[in-house]
Amino acid sequence: MTGDTMGGGATRSDGEDRDSAVVRSLLATVDDVPAGRLTSSGLLARGRRVRRQRRSTATVAGVLLLGLATVGGIGLVDAGSSDQVAQSSSLPLPPGSTAARPAGCTVEALALPARATSGQVNDGSPSGRYLVGFTAVGGSLATPVRWDGTKLESIKIKGVGEAHGVNDSGMVVGEGQRTSGGPSYAWAYVGGKVVELPVPPGYVGAEANAVNARGDVAGMMYTSDGTAAVVWRGVGASPRADVLSVSRGAVASGISDAGVVVGELGGVNGAPYQWDANGQGSQLPRAAGTVGGGAHGVRGGWAYGLVFRDPKNVPATPNANEAQRPTVVDPNESVLWNLATSQATVLKDRVGAVNTRGAAVVNHTVDRTAALRDPAGTVRELPGLTNGAHVYAYALNDAGTLAAGTSGSAAVRWQCVN
């Protein structure tokens, strides 16, 4: 998963080149690619929180490639989507999920700027008032945006980029890349102004992934051969970068209002990780027989992310139509962590966001649909704008009544009745 976390001596540029090549080759064979996967910022400086959620594609191809299937020469089968999901004593399965009709859920397209042809929601504020992401013109230019309800505002940064996080005050954070090239930079939009977040000497670039109610910003910074997890504080006045412990090869992907930071350690022995409000770090639990992984986000006492099954435990399943070609088997396990109890629950679907109640939006990787999952495990499918449109959800408010993401190439939000 962690082409971004270049521990163990690998350089970030080498990892990015490998991952970009893998992603390009895979995307060339897949129809109806979600908005943003073909934008310049999407391939070169992808919004890391969102990119990690989708990193299974690059991981399968670049790290645990078991073979090629037959859809255009390359195909993916989500092993976790079968009825039988791997289970261990340390990561119990959730209660039996019951599919329900999407009664009470309505979908609407969000406004796009003039000339924009696609858009995506990457995150939403806890109340659901604000949504953020990006819009794109064709397959080349990405512009960070914020929706206040249905009102759209483009955020004018230097170059191209994406918005990754937003709080209930409307403060937005993200990453950008200058049109002249060079490393990505972290920025915040606060008080109507874009502020470029500082990096200490020895670091060459940065990305901002999440922001909490206080305006503390979690993200990552780059050195010539690795990454460091960071929290920027005092962004609205005099911003400073506090590098978190276990800095080499680490990434901070989310930050709670209580100051808990989640992310991952990089390198061969990478792991999902958390730092408490005092900066003390510890690994998050994962199942026996899994390796690596990372936490992608946190809200209240809940975090979510991915861990990987050990390659030795992932069989290459023959493809029924092409017996000579084994199928690519997805080695990822999606996890919800209850931080208060240290309990980890394995889900068969990819979690796109979680709220303070432990409800989540999940993405079905096989048929590319999405659903709202309540804390008891009951799911309600989220409808697309049109029948058969591919749907992805990446934001959920704390009330569990508003979700957002994409339907086809459109940025959308769903409103549901509890």
List, for residues 27-49, the tens digit of each pLDDT value: 332 334 343 332 333 323 333 43
Report the SS3 class of residue 16.
helix
Neighbours of 82 (CB within 10 A): 11
Q: What is the pLDDT of residues 312-359, one digit of tens each?
A: 665 555 555 555 555 445 678 899 999 999 999 999 899 999 999 999
Amino acid at 56: S
CA proximity to 61, closest of 28, 94, 110, 93: 28
Is residue 240 within 8 A of residue 200, CB to CB? The reply is: no
Which one, of 198, 125, 119, lies nearest residue 162 by Cα?
A: 119
Instruction: Mark residue 197 as left, alpha or beta (left: phi above 0; alpha: psi -120 to 50; beta: remaining).
Output: beta
φ, ψ dihedrals at 374, nearest 5°: -85, 170
Highest mean predicted confidence (pLDDT) among 229-233, 291-295, 330-334? 229-233
Q: What is the mean pLDDT of the chain?
A: 77
Query: Whole-angstrom Cα distance, residue 152 to residue 132?
Result: 10
Q: Find the angle CA(144)-CA(149)-CA(152) to the nearest 5 degrees.
A: 35
What is the per-residue pLDDT across 245-264, written as a single tens digit (0 to 9) for each? 876 789 999 999 999 999 99
> What's the rounded Cα separation, in Å, for the pair 179 and 50?
22
Q: How confident is the model at residue 224 (pLDDT cuts 50, 70, 90)?
A: confident
Q: Using CA atoms, how far apart are residues 331 and 344, in angstroms rounded to an integer?
A: 17
- Rounded CA-CA distance 219/240 in Å is 13
**Separation of alpha carbons 160 and 364, rounded Å:** 30
Is residue 173 over pLDDT 70? yes
Percentage of residues of the chain with pLDDT beyond 70? 69
What's residue 108's pLDDT? 97
Poorest-pLDDT segment among 140-149, 244-253, 366-375: 244-253
Residues 6+ apart with CB under 8 A from 284: 262, 271, 272, 273, 274, 295, 303, 305, 337, 344
Q: Which residues contact 53 (CB under 8 A, 6 or more apart)?
A: 296, 306, 350, 351, 352, 363, 394
Greatest alpha-carbon span in the chain? 62
Mean pLDDT of 291-318: 83
β-strands 130-137, 141-148 pairing: antiparallel
Asked whether 217 and 231 are in contact (CB, 8 A), the reply is yes
pLDDT at 89: 27
Looking at residue 91, its pLDDT comes to 29
Extract the tokens encoding 106.
């309505």
- The residue written with tokens 């959800």 in the block is 393
Read off the DSSP letter of residue 312: G
Mean pLDDT of 124-148: 94
| Domains of the chain, first to last | 12-416 (2.130.10.10)
Tokens 């806890």 identify what position?
126
Hey, how many other C-beta atoms are within 10 angstroms of the C-beta on 27?
16
Q: Which of 214, 207, 213 is nearest to 162 (CA)?
A: 207
- 235: pLDDT strictly greater than 60: yes
Residue 292 is predicted with a pLDDT of 85
DSSP state of 92: P
67 has a pLDDT exceeding 70: no
The answer, yes or no, to whether residue 170 has pLDDT greater than 80, is: yes
pTM of the predicted model as reported, rounded to 2 decimal places: 0.77
The residue that leads in pLDDT, 38 or 132, is 132
Question: What pLDDT is recorded for position 270?
Answer: 80
Look up residue 207 and give its two tokens.
């990305």
pLDDT of 309 reads 79
Percentage helix, strand, coil for the chain under 3-state DSSP, each rounded to 5:
10, 40, 50
Q: How far apart are CA 364 and CA 91, in angstroms?
A: 20
| Residue 57: per-residue pLDDT | 28
Q: How far apart are CA 248 and CA 230, in angstroms?
A: 11
- CB–CB of 225/6 below 8 Å? yes
Contact predicate 357/400, CB 8 Å: yes
